[in-house]
Structure 1
Amino acid sequence: MHPKNLDEIPKAYNPKEAESKWYSYWESHNLYHSEVDETKTPYTIVIPPPNITGILHIGHILNNTLQDIYIRYKRMMGFNACWVPGIDHASIATEAKVVALLKEQHITKDKISREEFLKHCYDWKEKYGGIIFQQLRKLGVSCDWQRERFTMDDHYYKKVIEAFVKLYKEGYIYRGYRMVNWDPASKSAISDEEVFYKEVQGKLWYFKYPVKGTNEFVVVATTRPETMLGDTGVAVNPEDERYKHLIGKTIILPIVGREIPLFADEYVDKNFGTGAVKVTPAHDVNDYEMALRHNLEMINIFNEDATTNGNVPNEFQELDRYEAREKVVERMKELGFLHKIEDYANKVGYSQRGNVPIEPYLSEQWFMKMDELAKPALKVVKEGKIKFHPEHWVKTYEHWMTNIRDWCISRQLWWGHRIPVWYHKKTNEIYCEVEPPKDIENWYQDDDVLDTWASSWLWAQDVFTNERDQKYYYPTDLLVTAPDIIFFWVARMIIAGMHFMNDIPFKDVYFTSLVRDEKGRKMSKSLGNSPDPLDLIEEYGADALRFTMTYIAPLGQDVLFSNEMVEIGRNFANKIWNAGRFLLMNAQNIKINPFLKDKHIDFTDKWIVSRFNKTIKEVNDALDKFEVNAASKIIYSYIWNDFCDWYIELSKTRLYHGTEEVKSAVLTRAISLYEEMLKLVHPFMPFITEEIWQLLDERKNGESISIKEYPKFDKNKIDEKAEQEISFVQGVVTAIRNIRGEMNIPPSKSINVFLKSSQITVAQEKYIKSLVKIEDFIVDENLDKPKASASAVVKGCDIFVPLEGLIDVIVERQRIEKEIARLLNSYNGVRKKLENENFVSKAPAEVIEREKQKMNDWQKALEKLQSILEDLE
């Protein structure tokens, strides 16, 4: 072992310098590339492919840190670790970006050819797409960059098309008119999962519809008056006595003049509103279902951009939907058919991408039948072949899969995987194959592309570009993803895996926590509470951010995050650095000798090795249960408390006062253990561990801690006797330090310590004296408590510290009596408040709980002060 010269080692860790240096080193040495090796067991992760429009946010930090921890951990455990990176073409988001860019150049999409538009998309992708991967490198992710994939790559594109053709021929894919969520901004259908709901303060308009051949009116209410232009019926409940005599009669639809039926349907709630509902089958999901049951006409009144079309009266055509709304209300008022208007809070569906209200829309689309496809995918999760972490997501998954609806897989866009269907220009015959028809001049291809999720559902299997790779790496081992895409992506990947590969796509799914600010609010740009991770990395370092995110993110619970929390990781990095620098500082003067590693061992050495082996097992167990948060805290506790605060301090006795051989043995052993400890923490904090590991010895070119063997648990090195001995020493030292603090004994003053015990050893006494400034240390199992002395009890051993000459006992008694009086006054004040029934009955529960906690804390403080006061007698 040849440690670097101390002059080359900065006093403080510099993350900026280390991070850029070591990431370049890892990439240039191709350390994380994986090839098929039948002698090794693979461990595979595929990255949830970020959109090519995406940039790094705090959720990515947590997600990718977790993936990197597992891939580094398994790589060091001897697995053939393969982490496949890739990006998604993101049809809607990317097309919106390109359309906006072209608009700046005074080019509109409908004025250029499809081929020309796609060229602009690829140009945009080359220039801006995948920025997030450059950003992720700053986080230290150990992806196999040689395997980087893109959902529009030739290989992947072909696999997507092959899947469509196969499902079409098997009868799972069909084309038909169905109700869809329509995004007027992108002019495309979107899925239910791409709709979010906002509560909007709107109006409820009541309209009178005249019943033909009578003087009666039926009053209906609506939040969207413009849709009445597409009404094809009015429905009432069959048991509603108010309307029984009208069932079967005809309504004259105002403005339009269309005659529409008044019919009965059990869907209508007779106790809600007027008990009569207008039915607009082409623009409401429930109305659509009623129309199917009663064979009603379906009239679509909107164009793709949500302006009114030719199916409405002339004066209402080509109006924005909200303009049409105002005009309809105005006309109904003129005609005397406006009954009343009420304020009404309504939940309105918005498009996630377009951020505009969606329009329920009857449209001809491509659909996939899901009932049969979902069954095998549901079974493997229920049987535990795929495990969800946390497990409660299984119920959510099961509910969705058992109520699954046919999937609308077509999108009215140009950027994406174009549907492989051609229509004959004369006969309208449908041709569906991977390759276009040979007489292409007689055919035209469907304009639609596939929903982005209908390509990424093949991700786990088709990121592998040849059969050998696929057979070796599939199924993958772990998927780390956000729970909000459990239906979008996780469920559909399982469906795809079971159908196309007849096997699960992954064995474990880790659902990450939602990162919120410290007030519990969701991170968002509009609130200004969403930090830029690159700024945090610049300020604190990547390791500090990585470690903090795992330290504060329990499995299955939301994370409350603030920038200042990254101090946790930075302080921990500094603690590791300072421990390493201390060892290296001593290595400048003390020779490292591997032959002495097992010489001059005492109970402190046995203890720290025992604790290290317990820590290895605890960390492994936690990671195996996907309790990464627990693993980070176990590592933190061992390094900070056991190794740095205790073992290093204990080792100073021999490093400073031992013989040269003892010094060499102690330091050699400490550095060796420190190296193993760095390997334990490396998956969490790759940069600082690589930096120190390289400083500890002259490594061969290309040698990295990241490809070294992970520490192995050795049960034979568990030493309970040594741990008990240290526990006693720690208890005595802590008790004496507490007495110093409680009695205000100046740190510069040496103290006398009396121990009433028969169990202390010479070695224990030596370490206690080295850690506490003691003048005389008297051990006697028969001694009595000295006069005016502070006391404590540790494991049946009485500890006394005489105070005479150390403090002014009279002054100290007066100080404590004064503090007791002050606390007693506060305690009694709270007690009286809690005994007051008037206060207890009116105060909020949290206020009462807070007052009880105050009283409890003060009671404990009073008991402690009373004990100290007795010691001063």
Structure 2
Amino acid sequence: MGHALNGSIQDVLIRLNRMRGKNVRWTIGTDHAGIATQTKVEQALVDEGTSREQIGREAFVERTQAWRQQYGGTIINQFRRLGVSADYAHERFTMDEGYVRAVQQVFVALYEQGLIYRGTYLVNWDPGSRSAISDLEVEDREVTDTLFEIAYPLSDGSGEVVVATVRPETMLADVAVAVNPADERFAGLIGKSVVLPLVGRELPIIGDDYVKTDFGTGCLKITPGHDPNDFEIGHRHGLETLTCIGEDGRITGGYAPAFEGLSTAEARTAIVEELRAGGSLRAEEDYTHTVPFSHRSGERIEPLLSLQWFMKMEELAQPAIDAVRDGRVRIHPESQSRRYLQWLEEIRPWVLSRQLWWGHQIPVWYRGDETYCGIEPPRGEGWERDPDVLDTWFSSALWPFATLGWPEQTPELRTFYPTSVLSTARDILFLWVARMVMMGLRFPGEIPFGDVYCHSVIQAPDGRRMSKSLGTGIDPLALIDGGPRPAVFAKKKGADAGEFPAYGADAVRFGLLAMSSTQDVRFSEEKIAQGRQLITKLSNAVRFAAGRLEGLDVELPADGSPLAPGAASRLEDRWIVSRTERIARETAARIDEFDFAKAALGLYDFVYGELCDWYLELVKAREAATDPDLGRVLAWALRRTLQIAHPVIPFVTEDAWGRIPGTDGLLAGSRLPAPDDALLDGDAEHDLGRVIELISAVRSWRSTANVPPGPILPARLEADGYDDEARAHAARLARVELVDGAGDAVLVAVPGGQVAILAGEHVDPDAERSRIAKRRAEVEAEIERTAARLGNEKFASRAPAEVVAAEQAKLDGLREELRTL
């Protein structure tokens, strides 16, 4: 759903700007998704009883290429079904031949500039993918572990210190015990030493301000090889760094042979049992805390000391900060701009290398103590290439310019770089967006895009993340073609959730745009259904217009007003021309402001309400064959409406385009006319707006009073500002006959006064007055209750903002109803 929303957003922007006459390009494509793709292929190999090590690197890469050919086009094919009008002829992949060369050139340049370096540091090790990953690929989860208190005896036999830890398996690599020098309980122990249980190694007791006096026992075991904070403490005190957990997540190092080769979970159990048996375990209690997990494999992160490639970020980050602060790059909404700046200001080195076979292999070779970095392999014998590959996001960071042919100065690069807009979800603001800005400024020397729009994350209807395994994921094609609803839609657990009807691509696009915002949103099938209603309504309108205009030679201007110059055009014609011009401006402005929900819903209100429910109803009694104005205005209004709606619902509008006189070629290639103030008619909008309000008020009264909609009721119009044309429209559509007679009546408030519905077969004024009095009393009581609730300080301060807003909206509605009563 996220990809479908993003594709719809980008296509709206592309189609609108193409119709404005701009030279547009949307370079569509995919990255190689290193860890995720390799994991899938490795799983398939395990199912076949083999492994990547058994088949070798070359065969594994060929196998992965084949997997990518089979599955990599799924999203692209979904985009095609959604009507995405991208540049498919120039689809790119981050491991295309030219792209690979661009990646290598950037790596070599940064290496030569001293920004890329190799070193041994503590990294986030993902045991699931058996690779280092960056901080941005780590997610914190709240877990409940056991906090163990373990006694470490003083080496002089004078007592013991007790440390608290949730990871007793790492104690095998302890190098010290730390206390806070200000802690009077332990200050006298600094300089002494303890004996490490199970191992027998002597550890110094050191003083460090990092140790919290109110956590655990106040004594902290120091394991620099398996904890980032301990690593910093060890560096400050010149301690050695030992490791007891290997890259496979198993005990290693030979410090305690009895535990060698056990997984961390197995070792934890065995070590605790040994400590308990030896009398070293002092206490156990539950401890809830946040723990890092791999966003890729889902396994718990193991901080490990590892030889990796890193990139210094400060020099690259500052220009990227400046680009946002000075407005060259605008991030929408503003809250995401603040997140972007905060992250860049606190940026840390980026671990670039991944212990994978699928991806861009690092262009570095080794021979003895020699290191060579270059695009071409080194000459001579004995060189071995670094086996690691680059983080997928390193290559993806080059997308805006590498896809246009950089480093060659191609016509595409000169024409389309810098690009205009990037649409993405906020969860890759740092992984991708910030890095594209840094690389764009560093290499082509300009910002990669002017605007960044961070769209919604679409959640399942119950608020959970969308996931096939959780039964909450929705396939866009199941909405387009009809297909099974996921389990989350079932009314009872375990029940059949049924199937989606075939809503079609336009309805899916509309629904996704209508439910979008800058916040996370829950999937709404109602919005998809609303899109189908819009499509049906617009199709019926086109069918009506085509029938009226069939066989007529309608002269339709390419631009400008369809109204005959100097003619006394009818009120409804002037009104629909003005409203159409206004909605065209509003829709385009909302799209330019990335307010896609208002653009889609505003379009719905115009087509469903103003064009179909009002204008087509107002002109039903007119004949185009004898009414030239009707032919011109009807054809013009439908053509302009199709142009306005096309970026949002391209299929139905393209299909309808050729049925309207005055159209030529594809709607997608038609040129939007420039805004024309001469088409706006504020007087017509005001005057017919009053007529619409009058008709709506009378219809609402009929419904409330249980008066059938069919009978024509005698009535007096006791209101100012309605000329003969307006009176005629009001009478016909409100199903009343305007008379001058006196008599008892029911009064209906309308703009400028009231309509008095005379007593008769269907109207009993006494009964109506009694009903209104009763309803007025109910509304007044409810207003009092709602106002009291809003005035309650506890409710106003404790209730969720959306609940308070809903109560306020309810109060406003009740007060408006009381006014009409």
TM > 0.5: yes
Q: Distance in 2 between matches of 1:628 and 1:564?
A: 17
Give, as a single letter, the amino acid of the residue that structure 1 aligns with 2:750.
V
Range 728-737 or range 669-678, more displaced = 728-737
1:438 correspondence with 2:379: yes
1:429 correspondence with 2:370: yes
Partner SS, residue 711 of structure 2: coil
Conserved 8 A contact 2:245-2:252:
yes
Q: Which residue of 2 aligns with 1:614?
A: 582
1:682 correspondence with 2:646: yes
Give, as a single letter, the amino acid of the residue that structure 2 aligns with 1:622.
R
TM-superposed CA distance for 1:591, in Å, is 5.5
Q: Which residue of 2 aligns with 1:318?
A: 261
Conserved 8 A contact 1:93-1:353:
yes
From 533, 539, 543, the equivalent of 1:571 is 533
From 467, 491, 500, the equivalent of 2:409 is 467
1:454 correspondence with 2:394: yes
Conserved 8 A contact 2:790-2:804:
no
From 492, 507, 513, the equivalent of 2:435 is 492
Deviations 1:89-112 (A, max 9, x none): 111111111111222222211122
Range 804-813 or range 396-405, more displaced = 804-813
Q: Distance in 1 between matches of 2:247 and 2:813?
A: 69
Give the alignment of 1:658-669 within 5 angstroms: 660-662=625-627, 664-669=628-633
Give the alignment of 1:273-292 within 5 angstroms: 273-292=216-235
Q: Which residue of 1 aligns with 2:210?
A: 267
Higher relative CO (Cα under 8 Å, sequence separation at least 6) belongs to 1
Partner SS, residue 282 of structure 1: coil
Q: Which residue of 1 aligns with 2:548?
A: 586
Partner SS, residue 84 of structure 2: coil
Conserved 8 A contact 1:739-1:790:
no
Give, as a single letter, the amino acid of the residue that structure 2 aligns with 1:800.
A
Give the alignment of 1:500-579 within 5 angstroms: 500-538=443-481, 539-554=502-517, 556-579=518-541
TM-superposed CA distance for 1:644, in Å, is 1.3
From 719, 730, 740, the equivalent of 2:692 is 730
Give, as a single letter, the amino acid of the residue that structure 2 aligns with 1:280.
T
Shift of the 831–251 alpha-carbon distance from structure 1 to 2, 3 Å rule, reads closer
TM-superposed CA distance for 1:127, in Å, is 2.0
Give the alignment of 1:300-379 within 5 angstroms: 300-379=243-322
From 724, 728, 747, the equivalent of 1:791 is 747
Q: Which residue of 2 aligns with 1:157?
A: 100
Q: Which residue of 1 aligns with 2:683?
A: 721
Q: Distance in 2 between matches of 1:429 and 1:825?
A: 88
Partner SS, residue 569 of structure 1: helix
Range 709-718 or range 295-304, more displaced = 709-718
Partner SS, residue 453 of structure 2: strand
Range 81-90 or range 630-639, more displaced = 630-639
1:805 correspondence with 2:761: yes
Conserved 8 A contact 2:556-2:661:
no
Shift of the 716–438 alpha-carbon distance from structure 1 to 2, 3 Å rule, reads same
From 193, 212, 216, the equivalent of 2:136 is 193
Shift of the 861–87 alpha-carbon distance from structure 1 to 2, 3 Å rule, reads closer
Conserved 8 A contact 2:745-2:765:
no
Conserved 8 A contact 1:300-1:311:
no
1:66 correspondence with 2:31: no
Give, as a single letter, the amino acid of the residue that structure 2 aligns with 1:731.
E
Partner SS, residue 540 of structure 1: coil
TM-superposed CA distance for 1:861, in Å, is 9.5
Q: Percent identity?
A: 39
Q: Distance in 2 between matches of 1:410 and 1:184?
A: 15
Q: Distance in 2 between matches of 1:828 and 1:66?
A: 42
TM-superposed CA distance for 1:816, in Å, is 5.7
From 65, 77, 83, the equivalent of 1:122 is 65
TM-superposed CA distance for 1:594, in Å, is 4.2
Give the alignment of 1:3-14 within 5 angstroms: none
Conserved 8 A contact 1:531-1:563:
no
Conserved 8 A contact 1:268-1:275:
yes
Q: Which residue of 2 aligns with 1:706?
A: 668
Partner SS, residue 152 of structure 2: strand
Deviations 1:789-848 (A, max 9, x none): 122343433422212333344555566667678x489869969998999x9999985899
Deviations 1:378-417 (A, max 9, x none): 1111111000010121211111111110000000111111
TM-superposed CA distance for 1:668, in Å, is 3.1
Conserved 8 A contact 1:834-1:840:
no
Which structure 2 residue ranges, 5 or more long, are not aligned?
482-501
Deviations 1:652-700 (A, max 9, x none): 2323xx7x331x4302320222111101110111111011113335976
Q: Distance in 1 between matches of 2:199 and 2:186?
A: 23
Conserved 8 A contact 2:635-2:661:
no
Shift of the 757–368 alpha-carbon distance from structure 1 to 2, 3 Å rule, reads closer
Using structure 1 for the length normalisation, give the TM-score. Answer: 0.86
Shift of the 641–861 alpha-carbon distance from structure 1 to 2, 3 Å rule, reads closer
Q: Distance in 2 between matches of 1:494 and 1:832?
A: 51
Deviations 1:105-160 (A, max 9, x none): 22211122211211111121222222211122111111101111111111001111
TM-superposed CA distance for 1:764, in Å, is 1.8
Give, as a single letter, the amino acid of the residue that structure 2 aligns with 1:356.
E
Deviations 1:725-752 (A, max 9, x none): 2123223322332333343332232112
Conserved 8 A contact 1:593-1:665:
no
Conserved 8 A contact 1:788-1:804:
no
Conserved 8 A contact 1:249-1:261:
yes
Range 75-84 or range 741-750, more displaced = 741-750
Q: Distance in 1 between matches of 2:26 and 2:402?
A: 14
Partner SS, residue 501 of structure 1: coil
Give, as a single letter, the amino acid of the residue that structure 1 aligns with 2:399.
W
Q: How many residues align?
A: 791
Give, as a single letter, the amino acid of the residue that structure 1 aligns with 2:430.
F
Q: Distance in 2 between matches of 1:382 and 1:553?
A: 27
Conserved 8 A contact 1:653-1:770:
no
Conserved 8 A contact 2:78-2:476:
no
1:671 correspondence with 2:635: yes
Q: Distance in 2 between matches of 1:285 and 1:835?
A: 50
TM-superposed CA distance for 1:768, in Å, is 2.1
TM-superposed CA distance for 1:506, in Å, is 0.7
Shift of the 413–775 alpha-carbon distance from structure 1 to 2, 3 Å rule, reads same
Conserved 8 A contact 2:243-2:305:
yes
Q: Distance in 2 between matches of 1:345 and 1:404?
A: 28
Which structure 1 residue ranges, 5 or more long, are not aligned?
1-57, 868-873
Q: Distance in 2 between matches of 1:803 and 1:454?
A: 79
Partner SS, residue 467 of structure 1: coil
Range 718-727 or range 752-761, more displaced = 752-761
Give the alignment of 1:851-862 within 5 angstroms: none
From 155, 162, 165, the equivalent of 1:219 is 162
Q: Distance in 2 between matches of 1:758 and 1:68?
A: 48
Deviations 1:238-293 (A, max 9, x none): 11111111101112111111112110111111122111100110100000111111
Q: Which residue of 2 aligns with 1:209?
A: 152
1:166 correspondence with 2:109: yes
From 618, 639, 648, the equivalent of 2:616 is 648
Q: Which residue of 2 aligns with 1:4?
A: none
Give, as a single letter, the amino acid of the residue that structure 1 aligns with 2:359.
G
Partner SS, residue 334 of structure 2: coil
Q: Distance in 2 between matches of 1:828 and 1:112?
A: 76
Q: Distance in 1 between matches of 2:53 and 2:655?
A: 55
Conserved 8 A contact 1:200-1:347:
yes
Conserved 8 A contact 2:716-2:755:
yes
Conserved 8 A contact 2:780-2:818:
no
Shift of the 470–817 alpha-carbon distance from structure 1 to 2, 3 Å rule, reads closer
